[in-house]
Amino acid sequence: MYLATIDCGTTNTRIFIVKDEGSVVGRASRKVGVRDTAISGSNAVLKDGIRKTFDEALAGASLSAGDIGMVLSSGMITSEIGLIDIPHLWAPAGLKELADNIVEVADPGVVPLPLPIRFIRGIKNRYNPDTAGMRDVGRLDFMRGEETQVAGLLAARRIALPVTVVILSSHTKFIPIDRERRILGSLTTLSGQIFEAVVQQTFIGKSIGEDPSDPAPASIDGDIVEQAYQRVREAGFLRTLLMPRFLDVLLKTRWHQRRLFVEAAIAAEDMRAIGYFARMGFPEESHFILVGNERRCRIYEHLLRHHVQGAREIDCISDPDEVDALSIRGAVSLARMAGMIPR
């Protein structure tokens, strides 16, 4: 049987055509996500983008829609700015809870199939809805999509627990997992979108734009990362974001040095979230697994090694195919656990 997995995020949608054992036979991606709904006030752009991406994935697999026996979906597609609003599960939640709570919905008009779509629910931090107020906002958080990546990680690897998985995408999301393999919740920052906004919407973008005649080195300059970290601590995040302008106009620096400075400043600000772990009841000492772009992972790895005492061991998953495989493997393993796919 062939399956289609839909991974819809804030800014991008990826669709994979896979055999029921998880091997990929077709794939397609498109820069469309729930941010388009938030901006336009309608999910029409999102629906159209998913349809086109689905058709491209089928074409890449040399299959027709009738060859697909199941559609699995995760991510922001199940949010109020996605296609259908499906409530989160409460943390802590393990793989069994995720599998037992997959929601089957009649096709909402995004794939040309007379099949329901099976949606994997997200997870939210636990709080008391009857008594929580503004004073509790620092403890609130949720995820949609990352829980499926975590399921794929746990299905594929023997991991020293507890572990904190750090997903680096349009956000940074810290996800602690306890010794019972339960997701304890999450802490999220707006890191990726902040970087994009700085590049596209501020005059700092001019100082960190790529110069093809001056290739960036493959390695990360730890001294620049440290300078950015110290400036964030001493002068604050917003003033530090302005400093690449000074480095550009007043000093002889190169574009990739200034760009690394901005990336490291954002990562340094992210480290502050780890200081909140104790208040959340998350393990302060754990194995860390970074998932995302290799350059970004190396910046975070440097800061974790030098400035976070509880980081016992740090691994990185940066290969694009391996990152993609997490969501695919997670969706398939949860569907199998739920009895939707034969073992």
Q: What digits encode the pLDDT tens for the residues 64-112?
A: 888 999 999 998 888 877 777 889 999 999 999 999 999 998 876 777 7
Percentage of the chain beyond pLDDT 70 is 99
Torsion of CA 188, 190, 191, 196, to 10 degrees: 150
Residue 29's closest CA among 67, 62, 59, 57?
57
pLDDT tens-place string over residues 281-312:
999 899 999 999 999 999 999 999 999 998 88
Residue 299's closest CA among 205, 225, 236, 235?
225
Confidence of residue 203 (pLDDT cuts 50, 70, 90): very high
- Here the tokens at position 299 are 């910046």
Distance (Å, whole) CA 294 – CA 300? 10
Distance (Å, whole) CA 91 – CA 142? 9
Average pLDDT, the chain: 92
Backbone φ and ψ for 232, nearest 5 degrees, come out as -60, -40
Domains of the chain, with CATH numbers? 2-185+317-337 (3.30.420.40), 189-272 (no CATH)
pTM value is 0.92
Residue 113's closest CA among 73, 78, 167, 169?
73
Q: Is the preceding peptide bond at 108 cis, omega within 30 degrees of 0? A: no
Enumerate the β-bridge partners of residue 226. none
Q: Please compute Rg for the chain using Cα positions.
A: 21
Distance (Å, whole) CA 41 – CA 49? 15
DSSP element (H, E) containing 70: strand 68-75
Q: Is the preceding peptide bond at 162 cis, omega within 30 degrees of 0? A: yes
